[in-house]
Amino acid sequence: MTQIIDGKKISQEIKEEVKAKVEALQAKGIVRTLAVIQVGNDPASAVYVNNKKKACAYVGIRSLSYELAEETTQEELLALIGELNQREDVDGILVQLPLPKHIDEDRVLLAISPEKDVDGFHPMNVGNLSIGRPGYVSCTPAGIIELLKRSGIAIEGKECVVLGRSNIVGKPMAMLLLRENGTVTVCHSRTKDVKEITRRADILVVAVGKPMLVDETYVKEGAVVIDVGIHRDAANRLCGDVNFERVAPHCTAITPVPGGVGPMTIAMLMKNCAEGCR
Ligand code: GUN
């Protein structure tokens, strides 16, 4: 029987743990505050930002909302970040991506104080992850590690293949799997004979952003498959980067879409906000 990894249930467990932690801090008079910045009105970003604010309310984290116009200049955004960096009552700063084209994303991420970078996107936190030092870790890959651990799936000594090399998921995912003593290979758009590599994987993480790309021909019998993609198919149903129907029968465990990796991102953001970057 294939184990369907329940990201909804596991993310709820994490949110309950965070809520208890936040309540314990409140009892000591400590309030955690997250500043959430959105520039422009990309509808998908608006949904994500709203969900993040709702999660804050649920776990007891105070959220400050900055909804800036599309025409906001880079200087104005940097000035706001500078001000939030200085504020002692602000613990975390999150700038929702993507930003409008006239704003340099790298410049903005660099401006966020690494101590308040709850998304784990600042080069200092990325660097700390890669050399095994404490720091904030990108929420989606950190959530995948939690999914694996809480589903009783060992990483140590396993062949781990990450399909995709984005800064937000693929690269930090590879670093985290390595930190857990997996043997890690990263495949990307220029990789030759991708399937030969993915078919070696005990744990295959797919984060390529292509609907239903991965079918059973990519997967070793008995593998664990983690699907980071989220798309709408022709019938307007949610689907992932993995063809679930075709792949699931060959797996020991697999994440569904929706209800797999998706809910973990916000749960881990809440954990980062509550706990800091130990
Ligand atoms: N856009 C897509 N995913 C993310 C995320 O995890 N954090 C932020 N800030 N923006 C995103």
| pLDDT 10s digits, 37-90 | 999 999 999 999 999 999 999 999 999 999 999 999 999 999 999 999 999 999
Token duo for residue 148: 């694996």
* Residues involved in catalysis: 52, 96, 119
Residue type, 277: C
User: What is the edge-to-edge ordering of all strands in the sheet holding 223-227?
Assistant: 3-4, 251-254, 223-227, 203-206, 159-163, 183-187
Tell which one of 97, 126, 166 to mutate to probe ligand 1, the residue whose CB is within 8 A of the most ligand atoms. Answer: 97
Token duo for residue 278: 């130990």
pLDDT tens track for 203-231: 999 999 999 999 999 999 999 999 999 99
- C-alpha 211 – ligand 1 centre gap (Å): 19
How crowded is residue 274: how many other Cβ atoms within 10 Å of its Cβ? 23
pLDDT classification of 276: cutoffs 50, 70, 90: confident
Give yes or no for residue 228 CB within 6 A of ligand 1. no
pLDDT at 20: 98
pLDDT at 241: 98
Q: Within the chain, how many helices (H) and strands (E) appear?
A: 10, 11
pLDDT classification of 153: cutoffs 50, 70, 90: very high
- C-alpha 195 – ligand 1 centre gap (Å): 29
* pLDDT (average), residues 242-256: 98
Q: What is the residue whose two structure tokens read 């940097």?
A: 78
From residue 163, how far is each of 4, 8, 111, 130, 205 by CA, in Å? 20, 23, 30, 19, 6
DSSP code, position 248: G
Give yes or no for residue 63 CB within 6 A of ligand 1. no
Residues 210 and 193: their CA atoms lie apart, in Å, by: 17
CB 5 within 8 A of CB 227: no
End-to-end CA gap in the chain: 38
Element (H, E) at 251: strand 251-254
As beta bridge partners, residue 225 has: 204, 254
- Cut 0.85: pTM above it: yes
Q: Is the pLDDT of residue 116 over 90?
A: yes
Give yes or no for residue 46 CB within 6 A of ligand 1. no
Q: Closest ligand 1 atom, CA of 269?
A: 6
pLDDT at 278: 55
Token duo for residue 165: 């090399």
Among protein residues, the one whose CA lies closest to atom 9 of ligand 1: 96
pLDDT at 137: 98
φ, ψ for residue 255, nearest 5 deg: -95, 135
Average pLDDT, whole number, for the chain? 97
pLDDT-above-70 percentage for the chain: 99
Give yes or no for residue 261 CB within 6 A of ligand 1. no
Given CA atoms 266, 271, 273, 277 in this order, what sign does their dihedral have? negative
Q: Is the pLDDT of residue 266 over 70?
A: yes
Token duo for residue 41: 């009105």
CB 275 within 8 A of CB 120: no
As beta bridge partners, residue 89 has: none
Question: What is the CA angle 7-266-97, rounded to 5?
Answer: 125
Give yes or no for residue 272 CB within 6 A of ligand 1. no
* pLDDT (average), residues 6-19: 98
